[in-house]
Structure 1
Amino acid sequence: MKKALIIDDEVDLCMLLSMQLRSLGIANEYVNSITEAKEKFKNNRFGIVFLDLNLKDGTGYDMLEFISGFPKRQRVIVISAYDNERNKALDHGADFFLPKPFTKKKVAQIIDSI
């Protein structure tokens, strides 16, 4: 099973999503900034990336651009409270858009479709 990286500045959300993913059999790690995410991503060993758009040291769009410089080995799921960002996120390379708040069922549906 693929490993997931969660990138979100809300620690509580990271912990919740991490537990949901573990219950679905997905090993995962989380970070709270673009800087940490870039360091973790250098090995490009994540098959799934959950990416918030608003982070303390940049935007999810910055991370999408960074990820585009690597061979495509992962599916990127942008998570955001702003549904109006959906098309822009998909245009910038995201594979899925998950609006906040989300349910375990919705996360499972996306994982199943990967």
Structure 2
Amino acid sequence: MNVLIVDDEVDLCKLLSLQLKSLGLASEYVNSISEAKEKYRPGKFDLIFLDLNLKDGSGFEMLDYLKQFKSTPRVIVISAYDAERSQVLKEGADYFLPKPFSKKNIAEIIDSF
């Protein structure tokens, strides 16, 4: 399974990448919406971890961008703001993961897919 991490916190990207690697998953990370759009190709990623608050826009923009493709990866939105949960799910995310989260949380979500 190939995973794309989209978050402007580099340390979080590195930590999440290590956690995913320990679960046997390959990952890449980018720090902005524009980088995510450049990196994304249909079929390249099976899963996206997407932060909502990025330096060049909102994760909602990326959710909208993904809607143009027939086949899209599952999207897990990560955010410190739990109030956004229902809106995120309405906009097409598969799961909302509140920050902070643990490796166990990640494993449980991935296993549920």
- With normalisation by structure 1, the TM-score equals 0.96
Corresponding residue of 1:106: 105
Corresponding residue of 2:93: 94
Question: Distance in 2 between the 1:25 and 1:37 partners?
Answer: 22
Shift of 1:71: 1.9
Shift of 1:72: 2.6
Corresponding residue of 1:56: 55
Q: How many residues align?
A: 113
Secondary structure of the 1:84 match is: helix
Question: Distance in 2 between the 1:26 and 1:51 partners?
Answer: 16
Q: Which runs of 4+ in 1 moved over 3 A?
A: none
Question: Distance in 1 between the 2:5 and 2:15 partners?
Answer: 11
Question: Distance in 2 between the 1:49 and 1:107 partners?
Answer: 12
Question: RMSD in angstroms over aligned alpha carbons?
Answer: 0.9
Specify every segment of 5 or more residues in structure 1 that has no aligned partner in the other structure, as ranges: none
Correspondences of 1:1-114 after superposition (within 5 Å): 2-114=1-113
